[in-house]
Chains A and B, each alone.
Chain A
């Protein structure tokens, strides 16, 4: 047990570059595997949370733009969503890395972009913005006519009408599908080091360390289930947190109505 505490001290923050410089080279105890893979989860959480937070705002803009009657807004939004939803993330990573490399040669300002912490984050941000944008767009189209008519009747228009009526209703309707998107995005963060960006100084995400151990022990049946366990845990956290927010969004509805809203996930996503 005290061995394990020592291991956690040595490797708990290894994915960020703190602690022991060398990864374990022999023995490979369960504790070492669990600690390092857990350490790698820091990156998965970082990518997931940051991309979701930033993507949310772009997604709202995209949804409004796609619903706009003005083709100058609508067309670019449609194309953006189409390209990012229509191609595998894997290929997006490849092209982004390629693009950032060439930009770096033009201007040194772009040099941090080839590192995963920024470059991969940008790709994930754009990717989730496109998916979420489509979800929000679907929700915008299914806002009950009565809501907007009521807003009109109260003499609301423009920004206040959007902020106080349309936007909250859109969120409320889109929330279950958005929860799914958050889960998908969180899972997609495993692709960052797997096929997208290089790992520096053996600082990688959970999958990077899991495959390190699978390669060293030649036994895939220990590290990958550990990885799976972590992901199930954090997926449950996502479901829980999003559930709380969803409840908050629906707090004005009478009880049975709240039940009904929960049935909507599959209408949109």
Chain B
């Protein structure tokens, strides 16, 4: 009898807790796209989006938890309900917006850029490497250059180093640290191309309430300048800010 009462009490307690703290928000990310998100030496999700996401959750008074998912299936798993948000350096595009909802952007529209191993590559007719199924790959396919697609961003840069491709086309922020540390082997060529509508947090279309919550705290962080500080911390002093 005693155990029964204890059990009932525990049940009541946990039910009360569940109402009080609401549910855990699961944040989906890729973990392979520094500085947006990556796995640090300790094996945890780290990066601009980790820091931003944690701060957003704190301000919105939500319990959040980070989950890694493969890029290819990151949207199907969101709509299927395996996690509740995507913060994975995902550019806001019209195609994606048809299937999921985005908050306002927390990173201004990004430049994509070409990097080559030699100066004077004509990017409009060269062989250009890009990651399969990215907006960059779509852009190159239309640009008239010869597109060669690799499964991971790592391989696209490797292709330029070993001469398979003349240039790689990717997010400028992904390329900057690589160019800096290549000792002059790699360099930016051509003009940067603005692609996409900035990076936003992706949510299910049926999750309007949660979206409004995050939207409000992003506005908050934009207004008090904390977002700009974070952007400068992760992307360097001369990055575009709000």
Contacts and interface: CB of A to CB of B under 8 A. Distances in A.
Query: When A and B assemble into the complex, do they touch directly, with CB atoms less than 8 Å apart?
Result: yes
Interface of A: 22-23, 25-26, 101, 104-105, 114, 194-195, 198-202, 204, 208, 211-212, 214-216, 218-220
Of B73, B79, B149, B151, most A-chain CB atoms within 10 Å? B149
Given A199-B149, A200-B147, A211-B72, 4 more contacts: A101-B164, A201-B146, A201-B148, A211-B133
A194 to B, nearest CB: 7
A18 to B, nearest CB: 16
A32 to B, nearest CB: 15
Contact of A195 (B95, B141, B142, B151): B151
B146 A105 contact: no
A212 B76 contact: no
A198 B149 contact: yes
A198 B148 contact: yes
Interface in B86-114: 95-96, 99-100
Nearest to B144: A21
B76 A200 contact: no
B73 A216 contact: no
A67 B121 CA distance: 56
A84 B150 CA distance: 24
Nearest to A23: B141
Nearest to B161: A101
Contacts of A214: 72, 76
B43 to A, nearest CB: 23
Interface residues of B, number: 26
10 contacts: A22-B142, A101-B164, A198-B129, A199-B132, A200-B146, A214-B72, A214-B76, A215-B72, A215-B133, A218-B75
Nearest to B142: A22
B164 A202 contact: no
Nearest to B164: A114
Contacts of A211: 72, 132-133
Given A211-B72, A220-B73, A220-B76, A198 B142 contact: no
A195 B76 CA distance: 21
Given A198-B129, A199-B132, A212-B133, A218 B99 contact: yes
B16 interface: no
Contacts of A101: 162, 164
Contacts of A215: 72, 133
A198 B150 contact: yes
A202 B149 contact: yes
Contacts of B96: 218
B163 interface: yes
B94 to A, nearest CB: 9
B175 interface: no
B159 interface: yes
Contacts of B155: 198
Contact of A218 (B79, B141, B146, B148): B79
A201 B132 CA distance: 11
A-B CB proximity, top 8 nearest? A215-B133, A218-B99, A218-B75, A199-B149, A198-B148, A198-B150, A101-B162, A200-B148
Contacts of A216: 95, 133
Contacts of B100: 218
Contacts of B163: 104-105
A201 B142 CA distance: 10
B104 to A, nearest CB: 21
B151 A201 contact: no
A218 B141 CA distance: 20
Contact of B151 (A105, A194, A218): A194
Contacts of A220: 73, 76
